[in-house]
Amino acid sequence: MKTKFLLIGTFITMSFFIGCSSDEKTNDGSGKAITNEEIITNSKIDASVEDVTNIAEDQFSAQLNVNAKPGGPIKNFLPSCATITTVLTNNTWTKTVDFGVEGCTLNNGNTVKGKMVISFSNDFNSSTQTISYTFEGFYHNGKKIQGSKSIVRTIKETNILVTAHPVLTATIDLTITFDDGGVYTRKGTLVKEMTSGYDTWFDWDDNAFIVTGSGSTTFPNGDTFSAEITTPLEFNASCRKSFAVKGIVSITKNEAKATIDYGNGECDTLAKVTKDGVTEEIDLKK
């Protein structure tokens, strides 16, 4: 499929929504500590959120550039097993991406099955577009994804980059059910600026983003965790990872606090977690 894959997720990506829960020790004196186990569990949710956001933005880009003639080889994101149905009704595009009941494997190794339904206006002359998507029996790495999400995509200049470029504001309201029956909710807002690759839609590998924002995650036990990006997160599409390569996130549960440092730009799944002045390295994909 000839599309420009705008990695938004995380837009997702969305790696900043870090969850945390109980531990044997406390780091606040009034509640249970933030644990690495919950951080790793939440990183799996981050990967799901990022991939579904990427799929939605990818389909918008495909329609936007349907008549374009790329100047290089196409690098597809969606696997060949995905079936796409496109309908234009009352000036609105609706694209259904069906990964089947057996599922498909994305190029980052994550597996998906079921359907995503993506919609947006046919007015591509507008500098601002809203992309919406929902799910029909959709699973990501065995987790059921439900809810809705919208992405407001604007072409403009910013303090980060004076050249007009895509700036995407994602509103997230999703429910994620793990295969053990645990139900998590994810809410928040992210602003993601595409700082590289926006003029080569046919090659998503050269995309780079800077992400800011905040949000919350509610765990099955009812604990709610707040997350804020204190140093903008950086994502590189060429890494084909669901995690930021740089940036810092501050997380809070009740009075417990921790920070997550995503590193110095290396394409890995490692992060440094600091709690009570003690720093240790963890693998988010463990």
Q: Which of 12-16, 179-183, 247-251 has the lowest mean pLDDT?
A: 12-16
In a domain, 20, yes or no: no
In a domain, 159, yes or no: yes
Half-sphere exposure of residue 217, counting CA atoms within 13 Å on the CB side? 28
What percentage of the chain exceeds 90 in pLDDT?
52
In a domain, 59, yes or no: yes
Contact 85, 95 (CB under 8 A): yes
- Please give the span between the terminal C-alpha atoms of the chain, in angstroms, as a whole number: 32
In a domain, 202, yes or no: yes
What pLDDT score does 32 carry?
80
- The residue length of the chain stands at 286
Q: At 266, is the secondary structure helix, strand, or coil?
A: coil
Mean pLDDT of the chain, nearest integer? 84
How many other CB atoms are there within 10 angstroms of residue 5's CB atom?
26
pLDDT at 207 over 50: yes
Band (pLDDT 50/70/90 cuts) for residue 68 is low
Q: How many domains does the chain have?
A: 1
Greater model confidence, 66 or 85: 85
Band (pLDDT 50/70/90 cuts) for residue 76 is low
In a domain, 169, yes or no: yes
Contact 234, 246 (CB under 8 A): yes
In a domain, 195, yes or no: yes
Residue 94's DSSP bridge partners are 87, 119
Range(s) of the domain holding residue 81: 36-283
Q: Which of 37-46, 172-181, 196-205 has the highest mean pLDDT?
A: 172-181
> For residue 164, which of 172, 174, 155 has the smallest C-alpha distance?
155
Residue 168's DSSP bridge partners are 153, 192
Take residue 154 and report the two structure tokens written for it.
């604007």
Greater model confidence, 271 or 241: 271
**Per residue in 31-61, is it b (16+ CB within 10 Å) or e — as a string?**
ebbbbbebbbbbbbbbbbbbbbbbbbbbbbb
For the stretch 94-143, pLDDT in tens is: 999 999 999 999 878 889 999 999 999 999 989 999 999 999 999 999 99
In a domain, 145, yes or no: yes
Tell me phi and psi for residue 204, to 5 degrees: -70, -15
Q: Identity (one letter) of the amino acid at 131?
A: I
Contact 7, 196 (CB under 8 A): no
Band (pLDDT 50/70/90 cuts) for residue 153 is very high
In a domain, 21, yes or no: no
